[in-house]
């Protein structure tokens, strides 16, 4: 038992040192290759702690080897754009000049609902306020808001929650019921906009019945 205790302490401090040498203060800042190394590091660290029959040196060598791999890939990524793109990927424009980029959402396997969730997490509850939304290689979404936000009618100071009624040319029946509307209401809005259902990427309505459309 004492042996396992001592081995655990040794492995803990070695892993802690390696994580600090990787130079990132938050997991969310990890690039894809760094995240893979962190996962492998966590897995390898448990082996010498749990298996007293395994040579501690062999276990530590595997952990140090990951640090060396990280240093080599990081150095190559700094010197070579192609290596950097291979290991870290490239930022993806999810919203470009106020327009939702469906092709990029599909490529990144992000639904419109997930995009809206990401925006809300960044304190942008109204998608029409966003000029650029960029999916960074770390997985975070960077947002640049419109310099002149649309002046939407807001009589009581609160627009409330924005509900998606049409997503990718399909009507969300459950959301339609939540706001107490029906298909006739949708048809009337489309007619007023001179649009067809197949033209709509996203149609949202807030609690003041302000409608926002992306085509």
pTM attached to this predicted model: 0.61
pLDDT tens sequence across 98-138: 889 988 888 888 888 889 988 988 888 888 888 889 888 77
With a CB cutoff of 8 Å and minimum separation 6, the contacts of 1 are none
83 with 77: CB under 8 angstroms? yes
pLDDT tens sequence across 51-60: 767 777 777 7
Cβ count within 10 A of residue 156 = 8
% of the chain with per-residue pLDDT over 90: 0
Classify residue 209 as left (phi > 0), alpha (psi -120 to 50) or beta: left
Return the SS3 of 96: strand
- The DSSP element (H or E) to which 205 belongs, if any, is strand 202-205
pLDDT tens sequence across 177-207: 888 888 888 888 888 888 888 888 888 888 8
- Taking alpha carbons only, the member of 88, 125, 122, 96 closest to residue 204 is 125
pLDDT at residue 151 is higher than 70: no
166 with 123: CB under 8 angstroms? no
Strand order in the sheet with 141-145: 99-100, 92-96, 130-135, 141-145
Domains of the chain: residue spans and CATH: 2-87 (no CATH), 90-151 (3.30.240.20), 158-215 (3.30.240.20)
With a CB cutoff of 8 Å and minimum separation 6, the contacts of 112 are 100, 105, 164, 167, 168, 201, 202
Measured distance CA(31)–CA(108) in Å, rounded: 16
């Amino acid at each position: 038992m004492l042996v396992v205790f001592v081995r655990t302490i040794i492995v803990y401090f070695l892993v802690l040192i390696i994580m600090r040498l990787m130079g990132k203060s938050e997991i969310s800042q990890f690039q894809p290759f760094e995240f893979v190394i962190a996962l492998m590091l966590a897995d390898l660290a448990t082996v010498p702690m749990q298996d007293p029959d395994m040579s501690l040196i062999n276990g530590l060598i595997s952990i140090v080897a990951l640090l060396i791999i990280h240093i080599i890939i990081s150095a190559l990524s700094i010197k070579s754009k192609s290596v950097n793109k291979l290991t870290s990927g490239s930022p993806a424009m999810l919203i470009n000049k106020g327009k939702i980029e469906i092709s990029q959402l599909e490529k990144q396997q992000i639904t419109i609902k997930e995009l809206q969730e990401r925006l809300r997490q960044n304190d942008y509850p109204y998608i029409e306020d966003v000029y650029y939304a960029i999916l960074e290689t770390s997985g975070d979404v960077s947002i640049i808001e419109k310099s002149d936000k649309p002046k939407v009618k807001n009589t009581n100071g609160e627009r409330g929650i924005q509900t998606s009624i049409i997503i990718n040319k399909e009507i969300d029946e459950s959301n339609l019921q939540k706001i107490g509307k029906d298909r006739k209401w949708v048809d009337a809005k489309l007619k007023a906009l001179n649009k067809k259902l197949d033209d709509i990427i996203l149609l949202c309505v807030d609690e003041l019945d302000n409608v926002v459309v992306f085509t």
